């Protein structure tokens, strides 16, 4: 039964990812906001909804290991595994904003999380500050994008994957928003089903709560990011693919960490502070030279990221 849940979850994630990318591309076209920013905000927030639900539920159920492990593990998985897998299949072109705006914001959020969790607790004040930081970042990203955007007439309809329904702007906008909502809903349900099946399989082998959060739950809740980024890359929307990963990491720390700890302070295990936070920080730093080298993530760089992820997994079980 657990294996059937895993297969069913993957199917829902694939469908949801395709619908979400189409809807998000349409919103970007109509709102004169770059697809990269849509990937950084709407798509990133949507694909991070499973992490949000799982982390809040885990914290309220007295499972802080899963809650925090999910946040940190998802960020590690996003950089090392997802970017590695997607770029290995098809090298990803990197937009200038990823270097100038997106990576610095992700790095700042990662450093703040690293520093604020050194005392082994993330309290309500720190969580509230994270939430404010997320709102400021999204607002600034949208403002910069609209200031630098071209009129809608200069965009090619073929440049963005959209839902081809409706001829007037209001109808098209409603259609695209509906697609985003439907995609997010399918991703959330798919991730929930997938995680339930994966956790069931993991517990058969007596894996600890923290390791479950860092691996099975983190990978399961990150499947929307993987599927969505693969779909975006397949549709030649590398900006959405890369923006989705970086945006998801920002969202995981600021929004999910913020909301979860604002509801209930989260104790942080020594395993997280002494090992996993260091991996998250190191991989985030490594991402800068990767995206700056020729403004493309090559297959060799992708292979290196996947190798590092394999080493990280090995450290969890040694």
Distance CA 66, CA 55 (A): 7
Q: Which residues 6+ apart lie within 8 Å of 271 measured at CB?
A: 210
Question: Domains in the chain: how many in total?
Answer: 1
Question: Does the pLDDT value for residue 245 go beyond 80?
Answer: yes
Between these two residues, 95 and 316, which has the higher pLDDT value?
A: 316
Query: Is the pLDDT confidence value at 142 over 80?
Result: no
Q: Are 192 and 11 in contact, with CB atoms under 8 Å apart? A: no
Question: 89 lies in which domain range?
Answer: 2-317
Alpha carbons 28 and 47: distance in angstroms, whole number: 17
Q: What integer pLDDT is reported at residue 148 of this predicted model?
A: 65
* pLDDT given for residue 253 in this prediction: 95
What percent of the chain clears pLDDT 70, i.e. is strictly above it? 90
Average the pLDDT over 188-212 and give the result.
76
Please report, for the domain that includes residue 58, its CATH number.
1.20.1420.30
For residues 4 and 51, the model is more confident at 4
pLDDT at residue 17 is higher than 70: yes
Global confidence as pTM: 0.80
Average pLDDT of the chain to the nearest whole number = 82
The predicted pLDDT at position 222 comes to 82
């Amino acid at each position: 039964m657990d294996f059937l849940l895993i297969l069913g979850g993957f199917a829902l994630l694939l469908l949801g990812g395709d619908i979400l990318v189409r809807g998000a591309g349409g919103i970007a076209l109509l709102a004169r906001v770059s697809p990269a920013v849509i990937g950084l905000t709407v798509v990133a927030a949507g694909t991070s909804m499973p992490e949000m639900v799982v982390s809040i539920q885990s914290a309220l159920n007295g499972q802080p290991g899963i809650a925090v492990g999910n946040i940190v593990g998802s960020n590690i998985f996003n950089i090392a595994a997802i970017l590695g897998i997607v770029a290995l299949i098809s090298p990803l072109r990197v937009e200038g904003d990823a270097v100038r705006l997106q990576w610095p914001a992700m790095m700042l959020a990662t450093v703040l999380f690293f520093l604020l969790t050194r005392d082994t607790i993330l309290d309500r004040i720190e969580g509230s500050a994270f939430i404010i930081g997320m709102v400021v970042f999204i607002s600034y990203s949208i403002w910069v994008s609209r200031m630098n955007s071209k009129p809608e007439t200069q965009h090619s309809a073929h440049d963005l994957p959209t839902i081809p329904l409706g001829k007037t702007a209001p109808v098209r906008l409603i259609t695209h928003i509906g697609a985003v909502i439907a995609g997010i809903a399918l991703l959330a349900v798919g991730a929930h089903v997938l995680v339930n099946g994966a956790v069931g399989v993991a517990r058969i082998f007596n894996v600890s709560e923290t390791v479950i959060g860092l691996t099975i739950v983190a990978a399961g809740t990150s499947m929307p990011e993987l599927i969505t980024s693969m779909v975006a890359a397949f549709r030649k929307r590398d900006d959405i693919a890369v923006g989705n990963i970086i945006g998801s990491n920002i969202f995981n720390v600021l929004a999910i960490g913020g909301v979860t700890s604002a509801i209930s302070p989260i104790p942080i295990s020594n395993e997280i502070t002494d090992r996993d936070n260091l991996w998250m920080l190191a991989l985030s730093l490594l991402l800068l030279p990767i995206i700056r080298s020729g403004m493309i993530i090559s297959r060799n760089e992708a292979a290196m990221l996947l190798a590092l992820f394999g080493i990280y997994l090995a450290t969890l079980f040694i």
